[in-house]
A and B are shown apart, each in its own frame.
Chain A
Amino acid sequence: MASVVLGVAGAAVGFAFGGVAGAQAGWMIGSTIGGVMDAPKGQHIEGQKLADLRVQVSTYGKAMPQVFGKMRVSGNVIWAAPLIQTAHTQAVQGGGKGGGGGATQTTYTYSANFAVSLVNHQIDAIYRIWADGLLIYNSAAGDTTTISVSGGTAGQAAITGSITTYLGTETQMPDALMESYIGAGSVPAYRGQAYVVFNNLQLAHFGNRLPNIEVEIVREPKNTSDFRNKIKAIHIIPGAGEACYNTTRLTKVMQNAAALFQGTGVITTITRNSNTVEPRADVLVALDQLQATCPNLQWVSLVACWFGDSTDAGLCTIKPRVDFPQAIGAIDFQENFDAATAANLNAAQTATANTTPNLYAWSVGTWTRANTPVAALVNGVPAYGGSPSDLSVIELATELKRRGLKVMFYPLIFMETPTKPWRGRIVPANATDAANWFTKPNGYNAFITHYSTLTALTSQIDAFVVGSEYVGMTSFMSAPGVFPAVTGFANLAATVRAQLPANVKTVYAADWSEYHHATGGWFNMDELFANVNLDIVGIDNYMPVTPDLDQSQITPALVQQYWAKGEGWVTIGTTRHFRDSATCQPIQSPPRLAAPPSLSTWRDSTPSRWLAIR
């Protein structure tokens, strides 16, 4: 931590980096207790002063950062006035005999006026400011130009002062405080630079030195309003996290932690899904930001994850996970709806929730915290969050509908094996394994149909993803032209179609490589893609459009040329762009037809296999 450290009384420290504790020890100001107690009548006791009131350091030649997006930056002190010394004189109570006394004592406090440069460009907003890690300004709580500093902890020196913020516009004017020291007309306006000016910041809280200032700033991309306005559909992730989708605030009470950690009588309560400065569930804050960023948003795909435990389809089971078990040793947990919001639960929520008022219990179907595996740890931390509870996805889907958005529900498998492989790596060893992967207990069908029969959810959605990117499964050919997993998905689509409300579209989200398989067959997905029970085939499109050229050779014109060509570029095993070359074999040379980049071209060039049947 690069703090600006000022001189210490009687000892010229120059400047030093770090050593906050030492700096504070060195900055104790005030008369000794003994001096106070023994104060003779009429004597004046002079407290210690800071001998050197100059700010000793700010760095010349320091690179001025450029920031994109939202960033917490520490600044560079570009101006500091001599410290402001305030004398506090008070009468000191004399000893017992005689009374009267009349001794006085003067102590000193210090405050500082200084300016901190942030970045070398205009920014859109300053959100928060920290001093020595302590939040002293929060734009959500006040004015955006000049604000009073608040904060501080009980028992510590109060933090007072004000801050003037400059966003680096080309019209900003010089700071009045700096002018009052340097002279009107003699201060640059620092146009094009974002900076903040602190006025009379009390330093006692910071060990009587300038605190390390950090500022959270945001710089939105410029000239991209067209781009943002064009975004009409978006995925909501992470998909994993027990409470990440709950729109109701949840708390976790560690019931027996009192005895273990806190001493008796103290129960620790932790908020689970309200971690911003706003007193709302995190997901609601995120949705507000999303809709502000993408005003023309129409569709949202709501991802919810269970976990597979093997890439061998014969061994793979699919179950939800929880973040933590019901009890860890002596610590037990109770989860509650936040008391303030529990009263607002609607009927669907309370039907899914526990019947006891305010008590919340995680559940996904018949899975409860008691019978659900805990998310595996990698290096001591969870590899993924747990699965979103049924209540959380219902709450979020309901909220999305309330906001006028269309919802595509997207159940997804994460692979909870050490390398966290892609679900497309699940491969069956034989036709039986392929078929059983769907139908066995804790198989894929049980996972999907849990959600397709969850009517509180399906009444709130517009589309439902039956499967996505199971390339390893769908490309498995048990006999020439026989693809058992494709049949499995087709059967599942029929089941789900019958369970869902009629207006809900069924979707298969294909990988771009999925309609051919590794040994050269083509159109293995026809049985599913042309199925009457499947309404939409989406393609997760990462396909290379052009030959594998050096980046400098790839031009917009070249991309357009190959996009319109009607043939994709076969790159399996031959391109650095392919996501996992280790498991892909180089294919025949010369390259042959691969994924056609343009769907319209596909429609024109391959009418018989897909659209004709459909």
Chain B
Amino acid sequence: MDSGKRPVNAASIIAAARGCLGTPFRHQGRVKGVGVDCAGLCVWVARELGLDHYDVDGYGRIPAGGEFGAHLDAMLEQVPAPTPGGILFMTFGGEPQHVAIYTDCDTIIHATSELGKVVEHRLDDLWRSRVFCCYKFREVA
């Protein structure tokens, strides 16, 4: 790991994500306090922690044929269960297309277009049922 970067761990990821709570939802947004989308939240958190190779742009609002999942597979490490500071890939409308950051207290932090901002709430049965697969940042032990 580059010595100039701060240590990346679950706590720092979660803290960075919590710092974005309330940021408005903007499609393809990447800036805390201005606008992020669900992927943008994760990208901002990664950049904030010095992991600057996690972005893709120019994608549409509706996922195109597993492209999103392919990017996640390429950039992140898939794990069998949610891990604090990890990322949950979630299914809406029959296709995985939403990501959220899992915390250390069984909640998720994510940018939702439905509520128009970044929110944190419990991973209840409904949200849990939407989880398609789980990832963690490779840099996190």
Contact = CB atoms under 8 A, between A and B. Distances in A.
Interface stretch (A27-35, A176-184, A273-281, A536-544): A176-184
Given A146-B126, A179-B107, A184-B107, A200 B121 contact: no
Interface string B118-134: 01111111110000000
A437 B42 CA distance: 90
Contact of B123 (A84, A176, A181, A200): A176
B2 interface: no
A183 B121 CA distance: 7
Given A184-B105, A184-B107, A200-B114, A177 B121 contact: yes
Interface in A189-246: 200
A442 interface: no
A145 interface: yes
Contacts of B120: 179-180, 183-184
Contact of A179 (B112, B122, B126): B122
Nearest to A189: B122
A164 interface: yes
B90 to A, nearest CB: 13
Given A146-B126, A164-B126, A184-B105, A176 B121 contact: yes
Contacts of A175: 122, 124
A6 to B, nearest CB: 19
Nearest to A85: B116
B124 A180 contact: no
Nearest to B124: A176
B74 interface: no
Contact of B122 (A84, A162, A176, A200): A176
Interface string B65-85: 000000000000000000000
B119 A180 contact: yes
B107 A146 contact: no
Interface in A130-187: 145-146, 162, 164, 173-181, 183-185
Contacts of B124: 164, 173, 175-176
B94 to A, nearest CB: 14
Nearest to B107: A184
Nearest to A111: B114
Interface size class of A (residues with CB under 8 A): 10 to 19
Contacts of B125: 145-146
Contacts of A183: 21, 120
Contacts of B116: 84
Contacts of A164: 124, 126
Nearest to A183: B120
Nearest to B127: A176
Contacts of B62: none
Contacts of A178: 121
A511 to B, nearest CB: 56
B119 to A, nearest CB: 4
Contacts of A174: 122
A180 B126 contact: no
A148 to B, nearest CB: 11
Nearest to A174: B122
Contacts of A179: 107, 119-122
B126 A145 contact: yes
B78 to A, nearest CB: 24
Contact of A181 (B107, B119, B126): B119
Interface string B84-125: 000000000000000000010101000010111001111111
A162 B115 CA distance: 14
A568 B126 CA distance: 62
Interface centre among A175, A178, A179, A200 (most CB of B within 10 A): A179
Contacts of B112: 180
Nearest to B115: A180
A162 B119 CA distance: 19
Closest 4 CB pairs of A and B: A179-B121, A180-B119, A180-B121, A176-B121
16 contacts: A145-B126, A162-B126, A164-B124, A173-B124, A174-B122, A175-B122, A176-B127, A177-B121, A178-B121, A179-B120, A180-B121, A181-B115, A181-B119, A184-B103, A184-B120, A184-B122
Interface of B: 21, 103, 105, 107, 112, 114-116, 119-127
Given A183-B120, A184-B121, 8 more contacts: A84-B116, A145-B126, A162-B126, A175-B122, A176-B124, A179-B107, A180-B115, A184-B105
